[in-house]
Structure 1
């Protein structure tokens, strides 16, 4: 149990930190329109788009 506390647990913590740091800093390399936060609100379908099945 001492090996886990002394070596494995700190290594896991550092790995989780590095993965989170990589995910956050990857936004630098995204195009400017993808780096912005996602818009919040309703998205309405195009009025000419028909999502209903055809009934013949």
Structure 2
């Protein structure tokens, strides 16, 4: 259990952090039109009471 706590767990935490950092930093290399948030369009067939305004 000590091996897991001292070696594997910190490695997994650092690995998750690096993957998240790469995913966020990848937006720099995207074309400018893809780096923007997705447009929000009103869905057809859904009553307006369900959609947040």
Pairwise mapping of residues 35-54 of structure 1 onto structure 2 (< 5 A)? 35-42=35-42
Q: Which runs of 5+ in 2 are unaligned?
A: 45-53
Q: Which runs of 5+ in 1 are unaligned?
A: 45-56
Q: Which protein has the bigger helix share?
A: 1
Measured against aligned partners, the alpha-carbon deviations of 1:1-56 in whole angstroms (never above 9, x if no partner) come to 00000000000000000000000000000000000000112267xxxxxxxxxxxx
TM-score (norm 2): 0.77
Instruction: Go from structure 1 to structure 2 and tell me whether the alpha carbon gap of 1:43 and 1:33 turns closer, same or farther (over 3 Å shift).
Output: farther
TM-score (norm 1): 0.73
Count of aligned positions: 44
CA RMSD of aligned residues (A): 1.4
Runs of 4+ in 1 over 6 A off after TM superposition: none
